[in-house]
């Protein structure tokens, strides 16, 4: 037996391939949407991985430092470092802002890291070019996605920083590239007021009778000094000694320091569950809509193709073709159309959409396999109307009047 579906497709392949390509673009968009979702989850995961922390210590009752603002005293880490099971601690600040270079600016997550060496919590674990920060001021390590190059001068607030190293795939949970600078500079960038505000505050403090008490000449100086220090960080990153139960140490810190602590699991929950919850719901909606549109398109195309063959189908039935053969002809065509669409879609998503899309698009092979399964399912579903129409054709029609 010959393949009726195959012959029909070969006979009108132009029509078939063009429809398949149209469908393919739609499938490409769908695969890219799924890839964007995976990319967001992956962004969140690399953010956690790259921080090389086991615990995040943040301001009480906040979801900091990524999902909500958090600020804690910069000396909090001392008490934590002394606790049993704690291997290393490091202060860290995160601030998402526009970073200027020449006449362009890039949205980036500026990360303040403590002095130390690679492996210190918060530090980029590896570089693709240049070196780590060695001076305590005005050096920066930028992610390659920011577009900055070694030697670029970045302006963050009032100061200029030289790019000395480059990283890859170090991004915020929102996909913004990270730029690492020394902690002190970062604290200034985040907490420092501008000069006018500082002068204003000094004047107000100086005029306040509360700080100008007779017999206490040093009080004003002390208050002014305390007001102009930036004694806050966003979080303390904690690395645990091998074999330590994260939840035990976390509980200890919560109890003794009265701070909120998240383990990796909990941070993962916050990053993938809460932070990107709305976006993933939107993407899911798009996926559903695109699937419905694809179904409608395949159904319409297959139905039209079948209606164009009513006479042939009547003849086939008259000369003794079984319903099963005719149904499978339509079904095979539908699946063939879906397969062309999927291949075109996969190529479009991989070669064209993912590289140019401004967000990270992660195309997982398993997602593609599932996507193909769904495409086949959609094709089966949408060929049903056409099959029903074909099975209703009366072989007597072939004999005519």
Point out which residues bind Mg ion (CB under 5 A): 401
Nearest distance from residue 344's CB to other proteins, in Å? 23
Nearest-CB residue to Mg ion? 401
Please state, in angstroms and rounded to a whole number, the distance separating the CA atoms of residues 29 and 31.
6
- Least distance from other proteins to the Cβ atom of residue 332, Å: 13
Characterize 96-116 residue by residue with b for buried, 16 or more Cβ atoms within 10 angstroms of its Cβ, and e for exposed: ebebebeeeebebbbbbbbee
> Which tokens sit at 309?
């063959």
Check binding of 320 to other proteins (CB under 8 A). Answer: yes
Binding of other proteins at residue 327 (CB under 8 A)? no
Nearer to other proteins, 75 or 394 (CB): 394
Q: How far is the CB of 314 from other proteins (least distance, A)?
A: 8
Per the CB < 8 A criterion, the answer to whether 232 and 74 are in contact is: yes
Least distance CB 389 / other proteins (angstroms): 18
Q: CB within 8 A of 12, min separation 6: which ones?
A: none
Closest CB to Mg ion among 127 and 398? 398
The two structure tokens encoding residue 86: 């704690």
- Report CA 98 to chain centroid distance, whole Å: 19
Judged by beta carbon, residue 197 or residue 396, the one nearer Mg ion is 396
Closer to other proteins by Cβ: residue 217 or 400: 400
Which lies closer to Mg ion via its Cβ, residue 85 or residue 395? 395
Spatial separation of the C-alpha atoms in residues 241 and 370, rounded to whole Å: 40
CB-nearer residue toward Mg ion: 355 or 401: 401
> Binding marks (x or -) toward other proteins, 369..398, rule CB under 8 A?
-------------------------xxx-x
The strand ranges marked E within 215-300 are 232-233, 235-240, 260-263
Of residues 263 and 306, the one with the C-beta less far from other proteins: 306
Strand partners, 263: 55
The three state secondary structure string of 117-134 is CCCCCCCCCCCCEECCCC
Q: Which does 320 bind (CB under 5 to 8 A by kind): Mg ion, other proteins, none?
A: other proteins
| Residue 225 sits in the site that holds other proteins (CB under 8 A) | no
Q: Of 327, 301, 326, which is closest to residue 384 (Cα–Cα)? A: 327
Among 153, 205, 325, 350, binds other proteins (CB under 8 A): 325
Q: How far is the CB of 317 from other proteins (least distance, A)?
A: 8
317 touches other proteins by CB under 8 A: yes
Q: Per CB under 8 A, does 319 bind other proteins? A: yes
User: Residue 36: what are its φ and ψ, rounded to 5°?
Assistant: -65, -40
For position 401 contacting other proteins by CB under 8 A, the verdict is yes
Interatomic CA distance for residues 57 and 63, integer angstroms: 10
The answer to whether 14 contacts other proteins (rule: CB under 8 A) is no
Phi, psi of 170 (to 5 degrees): -110, 100
236: left (phi over 0), alpha (psi -120 to 50) or beta: beta
Q: Which of 311, 352, 370, 377 binds other proteins (CB under 8 A)?
A: 311
Considering the complex, what minimum distance in angstroms separates the CB of residue 322 from other proteins?
6
Distance separating alpha carbons of residues 44 and 234, to the nearest angstrom: 18
Q: Residues interacting with other proteins, by CB under 8 A?
A: 1-2, 4, 7-8, 10-12, 311-312, 315-322, 325, 394-396, 398-401
């Amino acid at each position: 037996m010959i393949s009726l579906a195959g012959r029909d497709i070969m006979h009108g392949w132009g029509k078939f391939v063009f429809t398949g390509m149209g469908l393919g673009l739609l499938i490409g968009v769908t695969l890219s949407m799924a890839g964007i979702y995976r990319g967001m989850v992956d962004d969140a995961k690399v953010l956690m991985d790259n921080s090389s922390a086991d615990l995040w210590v943040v301001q009480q009752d906040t979801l900091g430092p990524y999902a909500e603002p958090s600020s804690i005293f910069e000396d909090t880490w001392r008490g934590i470092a002394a606790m049993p099971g704690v291997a290393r601690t490091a202060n860290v600040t995160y601030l998402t802002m526009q970073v200027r270079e020449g006449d362009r600016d890039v949205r980036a997550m500026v990360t303040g890291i403590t002095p130390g060496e690679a492996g210190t919590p918060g530090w980029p674990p590896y570089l693709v070019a240049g070196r780590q920060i060695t001076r305590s001021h005005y050096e920066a390590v930028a992610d390659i996605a920011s577009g900055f190059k070694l030697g670029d001068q970045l302006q963050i607030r009032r100061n200029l920083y030289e790019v000395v190293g480059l990283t890859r795939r170090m991004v915020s949970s929102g996909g913004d590239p990270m730029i690492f600078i020394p902690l002190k500079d970062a604290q200034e960038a985040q907490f420092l007021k501008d000069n006018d505000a500082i002068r204003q505050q000094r004047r107000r403090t100086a005029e306040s009778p509360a700080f100008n008490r007779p017999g206490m000449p040093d009080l004003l100086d002390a208050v002014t000094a305390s007001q102009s220090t930036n004694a806050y960080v966003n979080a303390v990153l904690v690395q645990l000694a091998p074999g330590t139960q994260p939840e035990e140490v976390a509980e200890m810190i919560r109890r003794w320091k009265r701070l909120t602590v998240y383990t990796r699991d909990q941070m993962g929950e916050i990053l993938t569950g809460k932070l990107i919850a709305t976006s993933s719901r939107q993407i899911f909606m798009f996926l559903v809509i695109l699937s419905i549109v694809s179904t409608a398109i395949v159904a319409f195309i297959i139905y039209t193709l079948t209606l164009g063959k009513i006479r042939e189908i009547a003849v086939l039935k008259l000369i003794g073709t079984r319903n099963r053969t005719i149904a499978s002809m339509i079904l095979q065509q539908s699946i063939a159309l879906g397969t062309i669409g999927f291949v075109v879609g996969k190529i479009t998503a991989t070669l064209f959409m993912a590289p140019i899309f401004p967000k990270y698009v992660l195309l997982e092979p398993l997602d593609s396999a599932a996507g193909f399964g769904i495409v086949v399912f959609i094709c089966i579903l949408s060929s049903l109307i056409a099959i029903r129409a074909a099975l209703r054709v009366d072989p007597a029609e072939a004999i005519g009047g």
